[in-house]
Amino acid sequence: MSRPKRRFVALALGLAVVTVGPVAEAGAQADPFDQEIARAQAEVQAAQAAAHEAYGQLVAAQEQRAALEAEIAAVQARITEIEVQIPALQAEVRQLRKLLRERAAALYRNSGPAEKEASIPLNPSLESARRQKLTDAAAKQDEAMMDQLEAAAEQLAQVKQELMAQQASLVEQQQQLAAVEANLAAQQAELDRRVAIANQALARARALGALRAQGEPVMGPTILTAAQMAGWWHTRGYDFRVPGQTIESLAQLFVEGGASEHVRGDLAFAQSIIETGGFRSAPNNNFAGLGWCDSCTTGRRFPTARDGIRAQVQHLKNYADSTSRASGLAFPPSPYWYGSNPDTARRNFDTFFAKGWAPTWNDMGRGNWATDKAYSGKVLRVYADMVAYAQTHG
């Protein structure tokens, strides 16, 4: 970019070069820059509070998952224990059945072969009767034990089924909780990102506050309203020659354009007053002398007033912010200033040689935007007059 010499720099207000303190719309109120720092601090605190709450929910979900996993492990251990007990009981039942069969066979053998009816003694011995009775009692006891073992095995099998159903339910709960936990983790990541953004905003606000000690920052909130800027303009007797616009609509475009890139639109308006002689000469919607130089016969052309202001605001941001990148702009770099090819425009914006050289309006001039050494003072004097008007007229 050439270092242009501005065409309209003769607006003499007879004031000393000043650094103007900001004012609110209706007279002196809290410093808007302090308010911006306070807002940034509030955003950080709100983001941090939300992040802490989400973290608490995430920890609770993780603890609940751990408890579920422990319960699932306990149920599985019980199922494993039952799976060992059931075959042992079934083996014991089989052993008892075998024993019963063997006793039945022994009783049959001990009874001996059938004899003739006449040879059967009428009074069997007491010993034989006792033996028979004891054998029957033992058999009944074995059968009762076998029934108990079978019942126990069936009960264990039923318990196993119930435990397996419980385990399936717990696993389902675990899967649902895993989904909740994943969602909470995603929320936590998003909140961490918001905290980082809020911290960056706070850092920028604090840096802006510190920058004010050096002069009027180029970046920051627009303090004057469109009505205040237009009202001031009407008191100056300027001739307005911007087709398709009124001074009120044009001032509003400066407010909107500045807000989009966090550039002070009211100071950009003051700059344009200097550049155009109060908007008397602004050919092709060029309000900032973009492309004019000592040997140039014409400047850049912009199809609309909004396009001209957007290019002006983007270039002010490039001068003021050393970290500015095309990817961070609210709108793509102006094709009418940085290049009609989008890739070229992005590259030209990102590699601007004077990026960050003029963070304050006091740094403008002497080659930054204009060759005129008194350039910044002229812009700031206009701004001081606008501020004084706003303080007295609201």
pLDDT tens digits along 342-354:
999 999 999 999 9
Same domain, 347 and 286: yes
Written as one letter, the residue type at 285 is N
Q: How many other CB atoms are found less than 10 A from the CB of residue 332? A: 15
Q: Looking at 158, 187, 206, which one is the last position of a domain?
A: 206
Output the pLDDT for position 204. Answer: 65
Q: Looking at 148, 183, 206, which one is the last position of a domain?
A: 206
Output the pLDDT for position 330. Answer: 97
The total number of structural domains that make up the chain: 2
Beta bridge partners of 360: 217
pLDDT category of residue 125 using cuts at 50, 70 and 90:
low
CA distance 49 to 271: 42
Question: Locate tokens 């802490």: which residue?
Answer: 52
Which residues in 274-284 are b (16+ Cβ under 10 Å) and which e?
A: bbbbbbeebeb
Contact 383, 20 (CB under 8 A): yes
Q: Which two tokens stand for residue 204?
A: 């920028």
pLDDT category of residue 119 using cuts at 50, 70 and 90:
low
Same domain, 63 and 122: yes
Instruction: Report the CATH number at residue 279.
Output: 1.10.530.10
pLDDT category of residue 79 using cuts at 50, 70 and 90:
confident
Q: Which two tokens stand for residue 359?
A: 């963070």
In this structure, is residue 5 part of a structural domain? Answer: no
Mean pLDDT of 277-284: 95
Q: Per residue in 133-189, pLDDT tens?
A: 666 777 777 778 778 877 887 888 888 888 888 888 888 888 887 888 888 888 888
Instruction: Report the CATH number at residue 75.
Output: 1.10.287
Least confidently predicted of 98-102, 131-135, 216-220, 238-242 = 131-135
In this structure, is residue 11 part of a structural domain? Answer: no
In this structure, is residue 35 part of a structural domain? Answer: no
Dmax over CA atoms of the chain, in Å, equals 159
Same domain, 325 and 201: no
In this structure, is residue 23 part of a structural domain? Answer: no
Same domain, 233 and 357: yes
Q: Which of 391, 5, 312 is nearest to 383 (CA)?
A: 391
Output the pLDDT for position 295. Answer: 64
Q: Does 250 or 393 have the greater pLDDT score?
A: 250
CA distance 198 to 200: 5
| pLDDT tops 50 at residue 366 | yes
| pLDDT tops 60 at residue 99 | yes
Contact 393, 231 (CB under 8 A): yes
CA-based torsion, 105, 109, 111, 116: positive or negative: positive
pLDDT category of residue 303 using cuts at 50, 70 and 90:
very high
Tell me whether residue 158 is exposed, middle or buried, using C-beta atoms within 10 angstroms of its C-beta: 0 to 12, 13 to 18, 19 or more: exposed
Q: Which two tokens stand for residue 333?
A: 């770099």
Output the pLDDT for position 25. Answer: 41
Q: In angstroms, how far is CA 245 from the centroid of its own chain?
A: 40
Same domain, 99 and 123: yes
Output the pLDDT for position 294. Answer: 62
CA distance 126 to 128: 5
Output the pLDDT for position 29. Answer: 54
Same domain, 304 and 197: no
Same domain, 182 and 299: no
User: In angstroms, what CA-CA distances link 191 with 38, 47, 63, 78, 109?
Assistant: 20, 7, 21, 42, 88
Q: Looking at 206, 229, 248, which one is the last position of a domain?
A: 206
Question: Locate tokens 């940085």: which residue?
Answer: 338
Same domain, 96 and 180: yes
Mean pLDDT of 117-135: 60
In this structure, is residue 34 part of a structural domain? Answer: no
Least confidently predicted of 7-11, 150-154, 276-280, 302-306 = 7-11
In this structure, is residue 9 part of a structural domain? Answer: no
CA distance 69 to 51: 27
In this structure, is residue 251 part of a structural domain? Answer: yes
Q: Which two tokens stand for residue 365?
A: 């001039």
Same domain, 161 and 107: yes
User: In angstroms, what CA-CA distances link 393 with 100, 115, 239?
Assistant: 116, 141, 22
* Average predicted confidence (pLDDT) for the chain: 81
Same domain, 112 and 133: yes
| pLDDT tops 90 at residue 41 | no
**Residue-number span of the structural domain to which 382 is assigned:** 217-393
Going by C-beta distance under 8 Å and a sequence separation of 6 or more, which residues neighbour residue 145?
96
Same domain, 232 and 154: no
Which range of 72-81, 84-93, 352-361 scores highest in mean pLDDT? It is: 352-361
Counting residues of the chain whose pLDDT is more than 90, the rounded percentage is 41
| pLDDT tops 60 at residue 70 | yes
Same domain, 161 and 289: no
In this structure, is residue 25 part of a structural domain? Answer: no
